[in-house]
Amino acid sequence: MTSYHDFHRRSIDDPAGFWAEQAQRIHWHKPFDQALQYDRPPFRDWFAGGETNLCYNAVDRHLAERGEQAALAYVSSETGIETSYSYRELHAEVARFAAILQAQGVEKGDRVLIYMPMIPEAIFAMLATVRLGAIHSVVFGGFASASLATRIEDATPKVMVTADAGLRGGKVIAYKPLVDEALALAGSSAPGKVIVVNRGLAEAPMMKPGRDLDYAALVDAHQDERAGVTWVESNHPSYILYTSGTTGKPKGVQRDTGGYAVALAASMDYIYGGKPGECYFSTSDIGWVVGHSYIVYGPLLNGMTTLVYEGLPIRPDAGIWWQLVEKYKVTVMFSAPTAVRVLKKQDPAWLHKYDLSSLRALFLAGEPLDEPTATWIAGELNIPVLDNYWQTETGWPMLTLCNGVEPKPVKYGSPGLPVYGFNVKLFNEATGEEVGPGEKGVIGVIPPLPPGCMSTIWQQDQRFVDTYFSLFPDKLVYSSFDWGIKDQDGYFTILGRTDDVINVAGHRLGTREIEEAVSSHSAIAEVAVVGVEDSLKGQVPKAFAVVKNPALLDDPAQRAALEKEVIAQVAAQLGAIANPARVYFVNQLPKTRSGKVLRRSIQALAEGRDPGDLTTLDDPAGIEQIRQSIEQA
């Protein structure tokens, strides 16, 4: 067996040769001319000149060998609907949906924005879009209309696909009114056509004549139509996925086609150990990168059945996921530490009620996995529990254990070792020098970035360079914006963010975005939002706001009412997912002499830590204000 060290070393020393071999895992309509083209650092082209198609590789390619095998198994504990699509049936649905999009004028390079709950039609829409060589942009269904509008303005989609409503915990969330409001806000950037999947969950959605189209009626009208495959050059964009940024304006992470397909296909073997014909269960949402990579594309590229679930991990009871593992004989499962912490609060008997003998491994990602949580779930399931560290930008793991290459011991609290293709190093933030074992540094990757990673920020190449490759003036390094440390064996541990993005239950949120939402309330003069450690969600946002009229603070009832209003304002603009856990009102925010808010000191106080030596702080009075506001709350 090849040692992992040698395997990883070859991927770094000979990336073109290494990835040319991995490229044989997918179908190329036209062979590539060059495995790696790297003449414009940090931009790189993988498999330049090659032509392929993501939908063909995920669906059509399997028809001859596994056409009758289940491709997509769908379960909604919210509606009670449970259904399955074979590869042949999935092909028919996707090719028809592609024909419907074609009829609305969608062509290669056009954008299709998808704002959908976890239903099969959402996945049909994604696959149909890339089938045509168009570019999908999926927006998480929990985002409010203002956040949706900013993404519409940036992507300028030709068509939008949505639904009447989603469900969470039995509560109906009407999507169509949010969509209508977002389209009004987006103005001239709004798409000309909106396809609506009516689930019958909400009041019959208002349909705007000439713009809004009912999906069921379109299926009837195009019943026997099937769109063919549009072959695209390997570096043609497959999708845009927006991620929070420190500037308040979300960044459109742009993914290629061929490199992404190759990276995911290899990861299913080397990292996840999934086999064609088996069932893969990722509990994520298609609105996030895990949903793109490991609900939709990864399992299907690998000829597996992907289990798509709409619902909570504890509804109707805390055994629902394990019931599904037994029923569908799931072999590989992917979830988030927050979900496991939720399950940890339930009766552990639920974990032992069902036959989980098919399950070989549980993978967790989205936020740091703490040792007590990992130890607990590994002990209950008696299978390997493996942490993954990666980002929307990388598209697939950059730190984990690749047991498909060489089994390595798990160290709980650490995601593991650098993944093949990623030349991961720790750098001193001030000097740019590489740091040794036991020393804290910024986690960086020496380019070229491997296949599957973002190719740029949508229509903003300079922002891509400025954001990710400007950590050091004299050295080209991709910055993860995370602090880390590694031990003598090379295992990394993640220590937290270097910027102002926080991780709430695996969802990345920019504190700047939340600050802008809080500041838009007429009573607020200034605000600082920090991520505060939380035992369940990993982090939660907390806001410290300066009010325009200090007299408001004298009345506890008025203060409480204002806090409710501010939280409601955030929910209206960004969605409830961004709601601050608390809003504290103060007369001033602590700042440096140059006027920069002392966010790290605020965060330390909010977490009950020492903010530093008050005699050397720029603003001890401001720090005292924060301390008092927390104590009085």
Residue 155, CA distances (Å) to 70, 211, 249, 568, 573 in order: 34, 18, 13, 27, 19
C-alpha to C-alpha distance for 254 and 170, rounded to whole angstroms: 34
C-alpha to C-alpha distance for 467 and 461, rounded to whole angstroms: 10
- 198 is a domain residue: no
CATH number for position 611:
3.30.300.30
3-state secondary structure of 368: coil
Q: Average pLDDT, stretch 538-554?
A: 86
Residue 616 DSSP label: T
Amino acid in position 184: A
The pLDDT, as a whole number, for residue 106 is 98
Residue 345, CA distances (Å) to 309, 351, 354, 505, 631 in order: 21, 12, 19, 16, 28
- 566 is a domain residue: yes
Whether the per-residue pLDDT at 514 is higher than 90: the answer is no
> Is the separation of the CB atoms in 115 and 179 below 8 Å?
yes
The pLDDT, as a whole number, for residue 103 is 98
The pLDDT, as a whole number, for residue 592 is 56
C-alpha to C-alpha distance for 495 and 391, rounded to whole angstroms: 15
**How many independent structural domains does the chain possess?**
1
What is the average pLDDT score of the chain?
Answer: 92
- 542 is a domain residue: yes
- 539 is a domain residue: yes
Q: Average pLDDT, stretch 22-42?
A: 98
Tokens, residue 16: 């073109």
3-state secondary structure of 532: strand
The pLDDT, as a whole number, for residue 547 is 87
Closest C-alpha to 504, from 579, 605, 393? 579
The pLDDT, as a whole number, for residue 614 is 39
**Residue with tokens 């992507």, as numbered in its chain:** 155
Of the pLDDT bands very low, low, confident and very high (cuts 50, 70, 90), residue 600 is: confident
> Is the separation of the CB atoms in 434 and 427 below 8 Å?
yes
Whether the per-residue pLDDT at 360 is higher than 90: the answer is yes
> Is the separation of the CB atoms in 365 and 390 below 8 Å?
yes
CB count in 10 Å sphere of residue 426: 20
Angle between helices 337-344 and 371-381 (to 10 degrees): 70
The pLDDT, as a whole number, for residue 612 is 54
Q: Average pLDDT, stretch 463-477?
A: 94
Q: Average pLDDT, stretch 177-184?
A: 96
Amino acid in position 331: T
Tokens, residue 457: 């920020």
Whether the per-residue pLDDT at 618 is higher than 70: the answer is no
Higher-confidence position of 146 and 213: 213
Burial of residue 560, with CB atoms counted within 10 A of its CB: 0-12 exposed, 13-18 middle, 19 or more buried: exposed
The pLDDT, as a whole number, for residue 53 is 98
How confident is the model over 255-299, as pLDDT tens digits? 999 999 999 999 999 999 999 999 999 999 999 999 999 999 999
Closest C-alpha to 449, from 46, 17, 21? 46
- 201 is a domain residue: no
Whether the per-residue pLDDT at 245 is higher than 70: the answer is no
Q: Which residues contact 187 (CB under 8 A, 6 or more apart)?
A: 153
The pLDDT, as a whole number, for residue 457 is 97
The pLDDT, as a whole number, for residue 228 is 98
* Residue 616: domain span: 501-632
Of these ranges, 85-99, 333-347, 364-378, the one predicted with the greatest mean pLDDT is 85-99
The pLDDT, as a whole number, for residue 387 is 95
Identify the helix (H) or strand (E) that includes residue 174: strand 171-174
- 37 is a domain residue: no
Q: Average pLDDT, stretch 305-311?
A: 97
Tokens, residue 612: 């530093």
Bond from prior residue into 316 cis (ω within 30 degrees of 0): yes
C-alpha to C-alpha distance for 472 and 548, rounded to whole angstroms: 40
C-alpha to C-alpha distance for 128 and 126, rounded to whole angstroms: 6
Amino acid in position 23: A
- 531 is a domain residue: yes
- The gap between the terminal CA atoms of the chain, to the nearest Å, is 59
- 310 is a domain residue: no
Higher-confidence position of 250 and 87: 87
Per cent of the chain over pLDDT 70 is: 95
- Residues paired with residue 183 on neighbouring β-strands, in sequence order: none
Whether the per-residue pLDDT at 354 is higher than 50: the answer is yes
Q: Average pLDDT, stretch 348-364?
A: 96
Closest C-alpha to 439, from 493, 368, 366? 493
Of the pLDDT bands very low, low, confident and very high (cuts 50, 70, 90), residue 615 is: very low
Whether the per-residue pLDDT at 89 is higher than 90: the answer is yes
Amino acid in position 103: A
Q: Which residues contact 46 (CB under 8 A, 6 or more apart)?
A: 19, 35, 36, 37, 234, 235, 256, 258, 259, 262, 451
Q: Average pLDDT, stretch 552-577?
A: 88
Closest C-alpha to 47, from 259, 333, 211? 259
3-state secondary structure of 556: helix
Of the pLDDT bands very low, low, confident and very high (cuts 50, 70, 90), residue 88 is: very high
The pLDDT, as a whole number, for residue 248 is 55
Tokens, residue 33: 């001319």
Strands in 9-104 per DSSP E:
34-40, 43-48, 51-52, 70-76, 82-86
> Is the separation of the CB atoms in 72 and 85 below 8 Å?
yes
